[in-house]
Amino acid sequence: MAIKNQGIVQRKNDHLDIILNTPQDVTGASTGFGNWRFVHCALPEIDYDAIDLRSVFLNKTLSAPLLISSMTGGAQRSKFINHHLAEAAQELNVAMGVGSQRIALEGQSDCGIDKSLRRLAPDIPLMANLGAAQLAGEKGIDSARRVVDMIEADALIIHLNPLQEILQSDGDRDWAGKLDAIAQVVRHLTVPVVVKEVGAGISAAVAGRLIDAGVTAIDVAGAGGTSWAAVEGKRAESAHLRALASAFADWGIPTAQALQAIASAYPNTPVIASGGIRTGIDAAKALRLGACLVGQAAAILDSATESTQAVVDRFAITIEQLKLACFCTGSINLDALKTADIIQCGGGS
């Protein structure tokens, strides 16, 4: 088990290095948000300083509808990253999902994902994280309970990453029965379950199966941001795996398309938009297209390695951009933004 864990830790370390050092090489297809433009309102008739970005998620009121998306987890430096992110989330009063807690479940290190995170961020929605692969079998429900308890989480995020698993030499290849395992966890857990992808998107059809299984919210984590096929391609040891991965570098459902499809098919299910969100304008478009919350991962990794203040500063820009997008569409709050004039100006969504 120890040797296996060292392998996982090394893999997570490689992921951090690749995304931090060569982000331009691992960004996949377009998010689709570029195909949408708000209609500028030259006469907003509202006070900029009165714009209200508050929203409610998991029964907690956030200052802005933003989520620090799950980032693992395996490397020692993750401890600092997680602490910076938790402190920043508390200061900004936005939601946070931790990275995969698999290492903490299976090994010695918790990578800073422990109750100290809850102490740093007592008031925000804090979400635990585990892959669907870790939920199969008899230990699945126990594992889910343990990761939630580990950080006193408000919800559990289950991530789906079938493409990435196949592109890892030791990845999980058997995805039969995963929906059943998710349904079991939903039935036995006392906190809500959110299901997300990791950058290839969730279709309306898959969302429907998850909603039928009792899942509370869907995070589309669509294509256009971090491409895990590209990341795995960069660290692949064999030419075979490299060729397989590179062909799938821009695979996936663009974030805007996945969001729109799920939000229109399931209007009563909270949908989180993530995957390639870079600015507050993207966030505004995502909210307009039906998201209740907007998540960012790779875009804040750099500042998360630096300091809490760097993360706060980074998010402050996104929040101000979102506010200005509200102003320039004459939207005094997020309800108004949801009906702001927007046009589709490119092909597809």
Ligand X SMILES: Cc1cc2nc3c(=O)[nH]c(=O)nc-3n(C[C@H](O)[C@H](O)[C@H](O)COP(=O)(O)O)c2cc1C
Among 16, 124, 132, 319, binds ligand X (CB under 6 A): 16
Q: Locate 163 and state its tokens.
A: 């493409």
Q: Does the annotation list 165 as a binding residue?
A: yes
How many CB atoms are closer than 10 A to CB 308?
20
Sequence-separated (6 or more) residues with CB below 8 Å from residue 209 = 179
Amino acid found at 83: H
Q: Locate 127 and state its tokens.
A: 């979400």
Site for ligand X in 179-198 (CB under 6 A): 196, 198
Q: Does the annotation list 129 as a binding residue?
A: yes
**What is the per-residue binding string for ligand X in 71-90, x denoting contact by CB under 6 A?**
xxx-----------------
Q: Does the annotation list 297 as a binding residue?
A: yes
Check residue 103 for interaction with ligand X (CB under 6 A).
no
Q: State the DSSP code for 112.
A: T
Q: Are strands 95-97 and 342-344 parallel, antiparallel or unpaired?
A: unpaired
Task: Select the span of 48-56, 203-211, 291-299, 316-324 touching ligand X (CB under 6 A).
Answer: 291-299
Q: Locate 125 and state its tokens.
A: 């929605």
Tokens 């804090």, residue located? 126
Q: Which is nearer to ligand X, 125 or 330 (CB)?
A: 125
Question: What is the CA 168 to chain-centroid distance, rounded?
Answer: 21
Among 82, 129, 168, 329, binds ligand X (CB under 6 A): 129
Closest CA relative to residue 23, chosen from 209, 225, 278: 225
Q: Which is nearer to ligand X, 58 or 340 (CB)?
A: 58
**What is the per-residue binding string for ligand X in 53-72, x denoting contact by CB under 6 A?**
----------------xxxx
Peptide bond preceding 208 in cis form (omega within 30 of 0): no
Contacts of 261-268 spanning 24+ positions with Cβ under 8 A:
261/203, 261/204, 262/202, 262/203, 262/204, 262/207, 262/218, 262/220, 262/290, 263/289, 263/290, 263/291, 264/204, 264/290, 265/204, 265/207, 265/208, 266/204, 266/207, 266/208, 266/211, 266/218
Check residue 298 for interaction with ligand X (CB under 6 A).
yes
- Interior CA angle at 35 toward 33 and 37, to 5°? 85
Check residue 134 for interaction with ligand X (CB under 6 A).
no
**What is the per-residue binding string for ligand X in 264-283, x denoting contact by CB under 6 A?**
----------xxxx------
Q: Does the annotation list 72 as a binding residue?
A: yes
Q: How many residues line the site for ligand X (CB under 6 A)? A: 27
Check residue 199 for interaction with ligand X (CB under 6 A).
yes
Check residue 299 for interaction with ligand X (CB under 6 A).
yes
Check residue 301 for interaction with ligand X (CB under 6 A).
yes
Give the residue nearest to ligand X (CB).
225
Q: Does the annotation list 100 as a binding residue?
A: yes
Task: Select the span of 12-20, 40-48, 137-145, 241-249 touching ligand X (CB under 6 A).
Answer: 12-20
> Which residues in this chain contact ligand X in the complex, by CB under 6 A?
15-16, 19, 69-73, 99-100, 129, 159, 196, 198-199, 221, 225-226, 274-277, 296-299, 301
Binding positions for Mg(2+) are 165
